[in-house]
Amino acid sequence: MFPRFAALGGPVLAALLSQAVLVPMASAQQPSGAKPPAAAAKPTAKPGTAPPPAASPDPDVTPSHLALAREVMLSSGIARSFDSIIPTMAEQIRKNAVTRPDLAKDLDEVLKSLDPEMALQKQRLIDTAARIYAKRLTEAELKDIVAFFRSPAGKRYVETQPQMLDEMVGAMQDWTQEVSEYVMVRTRAEMGKRGHQLQ
| Backbone φ/ψ region at 8: left (φ over 0), alpha (ψ -120 to 50), beta | left
Count of beta carbons in the 10 Å neighbourhood of residue 170: 9
Q: Is 18 exposed, middle or buried (0-12, 13-18, 19+ CB in 10 A)?
A: middle
| Backbone φ/ψ region at 50: left (φ over 0), alpha (ψ -120 to 50), beta | beta
Query: Domain boundaries in the chain?
Result: 1-19+55-160, 171-199
Q: pLDDT per residue over 117-148, tens digit each?
A: 998 998 999 999 999 999 999 999 999 999 99
| H or E, element range at 168 | helix 152-193
**Whether the model pTM is above 0.75:** no
The residue ranking higher by pLDDT, 64 or 23, is: 64
The DSSP annotation for 64-110 comes to HHHHHHHHHHHHTSGGGGGGGHHHHHHHHHHHHTTT-GGGHHHHHHH
Contact 75, 7 (CB under 8 A): no
> Helix (H, G, I), strand (E, B), or coil: what is residue 119?
helix
Give me the chain's average pLDDT, please.
79
Q: Is 13 exposed, middle or buried (0-12, 13-18, 19+ CB in 10 A)?
A: middle
Residue range 23-40: mean pLDDT, rounded: 49
